[in-house]
Chains A and B, each alone.
Chain A
Amino acid sequence: MNMNMQRMIFALALAGSLVAIAAPASAEDQVSPPRQKWSFAGPFGKFDEAQLQRGYKIYREVCSNCHSMEMLTFGNLADAGGPGFSEGQAEAVASEYKIKDLDGNGEPTDRPGRLADHFPSPFANELAAKAANGGTAPPDMSTLAKARSYSRGFPWFVFDAFTQYQEQGPDYIAAILNGYVDPPKDFKLPEGGHYNEYFPGHTIAMPPPLQAGQVTFDDGSPQTMQQYSKDVAAFLMWAAEPKLVQRKRTGFQVMIFLIVLTGLLYFTKKKVWSAVH
């Protein structure tokens, strides 16, 4: 009876796992974006200053016409682990912006930006942003690279914990920028929508924002869509996680400390217990 019961339980467990594997993929209509190589991936990852500067240039000349980035200050451009602007360069950037403020008499005024100012929104308020963009306000870009992702599915999400794959957001953003293709013949595109291969459901409100050659790079990097999309995605990752470099560097120090501590504790424990084993 015992053996029979064992077999039955085993068979049940096996059947359960087979059904689980055969279950259909989730109904989400999302194409996985291609994996890119990022300088900031992995345990020793760092942002590439030149790439962040190019990405900022794209943000400044293209994205910022519609997208705010209100969590960041101009001073952040000169922070360690970022695009590597000097303080003077960041100040120069700030002074190009007009910031709404009050003057000494309490009258509304536009003054040039300072390092401590946040990047101003391109629209006066959310309703204005909606009205100017066909009813959908363009999302703020401060946390965008962490707010976008795609489902990795089993078993890949398990491996991701070991390989430290945390770049779903920038991969997705780069893919979206390259994902504007002609819709399949049977696809009904709603009015005001644009077809995008990588957008969930494929209908995105944002028109193709970038074209090859649109932004001039001073460092000789290719002015292609591939390059643009990667650079701006990297910049957005920095905007969303400006302490990434500091985090990974601290993490390495903490890991070394913990591993040495664990080793010492292991041998101490062994010595203490040797008397009673």
Chain B
Amino acid sequence: MSGPSTYQPTNRAMQWFEKRLPIGGLIHSSFVAYPTPRNLNYWWTFGGILSFMLGVQIITGVVLAMHYTPHIDLAFKSVEAIMRDVNYGWLLRYLHANGAAMFFLAVYIHMFRGLYYGSYKEPREVLWILGVIIYLLMMATGFMGYVLVWGQMSFWAATVITNLFSAIPGVGDTIVTWLWGGYAVGNPTLNRFYSLHYLLPFVIAGVVVLHVWALHVAGQNNPTGIDPKSDKDTVPFTPYATMKDAFGLACFLIFFAWFVFYIPNYLGHADNYIPANPAVTPPEIVPEWYYLPFYAILRSIPNKLLGVCALFGSIGILAFLPWLDTSRVKSGRYRPLFRQFFWLFVIACVGLGWLGTKQPEGIYVILARILTFYYFAFFLIVLPLLGIFEKTKPLPNSISESVLGAKA
């Protein structure tokens, strides 16, 4: 993917094969010889972690699908049967449920890293937009997977989220009926969610291939934000990046295992162990933690249509980030003002997440409105203006100079 391959197989059979399908050369140039900036820090290991987590989700998901029954009368029972009667079913299910949370945690770190170091800027705009598409697909997939459990929170989350589309003027109710496959969330809804929950991860995998392709065309960004200028600025992907990624992944797996084996229900909601019951509304309907900031944005706006617009706008706006940020300096390291607004943005996102768990009343609504305003202002006001007014720090001459100091 990056220039003509230097891969020369020595084995006769491999030479024969390589002439007919140069896949060895592709792998070699992409994951062995591929030059990576030598100054990548551990925030850059989350790309590899995300690929691994996608694999974990697909493998555990395919096996879970062998035991799951997508029917409103049997779904909850089949999940419990997986937990009780399937060999290591409890492990598969807890890996899959907590794996989704870990996947989102990793993607949020990955996105904030991209934001901090300006990884979306020229020439990586398409790479960034592909990432936004992956994130959107992840949100849809995660939501539908949560519904499959068919507990109380599954059912009511499905009801709340599908009802968002009823805000569309004129055709809203028709669209919702069409989404449900009936006049309420029911068996047709569960069936199509199951079908799509199985389909979308493979769509994600496809877009991930494009994402990695675009990455290998543009080359990786790095903490300085300046392009590699000579061989001194880069190291070969293998063994350098592979070893660093492997160590980062192993640390992440310890964290993951802590949740799976010791606190598997920590991130879940107790109500989802109650079978779905359309006749009983839970006292509070809250989404999984990774949707909470968007839930807070939705509920901070009193008008339903505008709330839904804000919800989708808050994600859609990410796609325009490469053009909203007008600064010519990529890395936050050399942007003192941006850095502060960035951390305020992180605090705003976490704050919105906390507010997503609260009833939208009193002080919580006011706080949610302030933070929602800041969320959008960060993209629409702060970033365009900072590029014009911010006095940035001087950039180093090269990556190797920033790593080794003046002696290089």
A residues touching B (Cβ–Cβ < 8 Å)? 2, 5-6, 9, 12-13, 16, 19-20, 23-24, 26-28, 43, 71-72, 76, 139-140, 142-144, 146-149, 154, 160-161, 164, 166, 168-169, 200, 240, 242-243, 246-248, 250-252, 254-255, 258-259, 261-262, 265-266, 268-269, 272-273, 276
Contacts and interface: CB of A to CB of B under 8 A. Distances in A.
B358 A24 contact: no
Nearest to B403: A277
Interface stretch (B158-166, B242-250, B301-309): B242-250
Contacts of A240: 273
Nearest to B83: A243
Given A23-B364, A24-B362, A71-B84, A146 B265 contact: yes
Given A6-B340, A247-B261, A268 B243 contact: yes
B240 A276 contact: yes
Interface stretch (B129-137, B251-259, B290-298, B321-329): B251-259
Contact of A20 (B38, B253, B258, B354): B354
Contact of B340 (A9, A148, A166, A250): A9
B313 interface: no
B270 A169 contact: yes
Given A71-B80, A200-B283, A272-B243, 18 more contacts: A9-B341, A16-B370, A19-B363, A24-B363, A76-B84, A148-B270, A160-B266, A161-B263, A166-B266, A242-B84, A243-B83, A246-B90, A251-B260, A251-B262, A262-B247, A262-B251, A268-B243, A269-B243
B63 interface: no
Interface in B361-406: 361-364, 367, 370, 391
Interface string B214-252: 000000000000000000000100011001101100110
Contacts of A12: 344
Contacts of A255: 254, 257-258, 261
A146 B283 contact: no
A2 B254 contact: no
A254 B259 CA distance: 12
A269 B257 contact: no
Contacts of A250: 91, 261
Contact of A2 (B253, B271, B336, B367): B336
12 contacts: A16-B347, A20-B354, A26-B358, A27-B361, A139-B274, A143-B274, A164-B262, A166-B266, A169-B270, A247-B90, A251-B257, A254-B257
B110 interface: no
A266 to B, nearest CB: 6
Given A9-B344, A20-B367, A24-B362, A273 B90 contact: no
Nearest to B256: A258
Given A28-B283, A43-B262, A71-B77, A273 B254 contact: no
A145 to B, nearest CB: 9
B273 A269 contact: no
Contact count band on B: 35 or more
A176 to B, nearest CB: 14
Given A20-B354, A26-B359, A143-B273, A161 B266 contact: yes
A229 B74 CA distance: 32
B337 interface: yes
B367 A23 contact: yes
A146 B257 CA distance: 20
B254 A262 contact: yes
B351 interface: yes
B264 interface: yes
A19 to B, nearest CB: 6
Contacts of A248: 261-262
Contacts of A251: 257, 260-262
B225 to A, nearest CB: 20
Given A13-B344, A20-B351, A269-B244, A262 B250 contact: yes
A71 to B, nearest CB: 5
Nearest to A154: B354
Top 9 closest A-B pairs, CB basis?
A251-B261, A147-B273, A149-B270, A262-B250, A143-B273, A265-B247, A146-B273, A269-B243, A243-B90
B361 to A, nearest CB: 8
Contacts of B254: 255, 258-259, 262
Contact of B270 (A146, A259, A272): A146
B244 A273 contact: yes
Contact of A166 (B243, B263, B363): B263
Interface string B270-290: 110111000000010000000
Nearest to A72: B84
A146 B269 CA distance: 9
Nearest to B249: A265
Contacts of B80: 71, 142-143
A252 to B, nearest CB: 8
A265 B261 contact: no
A138 to B, nearest CB: 13
Contacts of B263: 160-161, 164, 166
A232 B207 CA distance: 51
A109 B298 CA distance: 56
Contact of A273 (B243, B257, B261): B243
Contacts of A269: 243-244, 246-247
Given A6-B340, A166-B266, A276-B38, A16 B351 contact: yes
Most buried by B among A24, A140, A254: A254
Contacts of A139: 274
Contact of A27 (B260, B347, B359): B359
Contacts of B271: 147
Contacts of B358: 26
A47 to B, nearest CB: 15
Contacts of B340: 5-6, 9
Contacts of A254: 257, 261
